[in-house]
Amino acid sequence: GESVGLHLPTLSVQEGDNSIINCAYSNSASDYFIWYKQESGKGPQFIIDIRSNMDKRQGQRVTVLLNKTVKHLSLQIAATQPGDSAVYFCAESRYNQGGKLIFGQGTELSVKP
């Protein structure tokens, strides 16, 4: 498929458990942080974003936490389902950079039934 499947950090969870995917970023000037999901053979799909002036944002079954002190971002998926199996990317953007995204390398999530 089109997703990056090798040489990535991997996370394996049991169906129904909660998943936590982590991302470290380097640029303290970033204004937005975004999580994308990429299923095999498909393009990245937006999950959720968070402004840099927030610590937490919740969506449907997903929560993003931002810790600016240690430059760390996490995506929590509640009650993980087989359909959540994918590669997850964090990305950052700066307001004065015209919407350009800088992507991390991704984490492959595998959900065991």
Q: Which residues bind other proteins (CB under 8 A)?
A: 2, 4, 6-7, 31-32, 34, 36, 41-46, 49, 89, 93-96, 98-106
Please report how close the Cβ of residue 60 comes to other proteins at its closest, in angstroms: 16
d(CA 62, CA 113): 20
To other proteins, the closest distance from the beta carbon of 69 in angstroms equals 22
Identity of the residue, 41 or 83, whose beta carbon is nearer to other proteins in the bound complex = 41
Q: b vs e for 72-109, b when ≥16 Cβ sit within 10 Å of the residue's Cβ?
A: ebebbbeebeeebbbbbbbbbbbeeeeeeeeebebbbb
Shorter beta-carbon distance to other proteins: residue 21 or 34: 34
Q: Are 75 and 107 in contact (CB under 8 A)?
A: no
Least CB distance from residue 4 to other proteins, whole Å?
Answer: 6
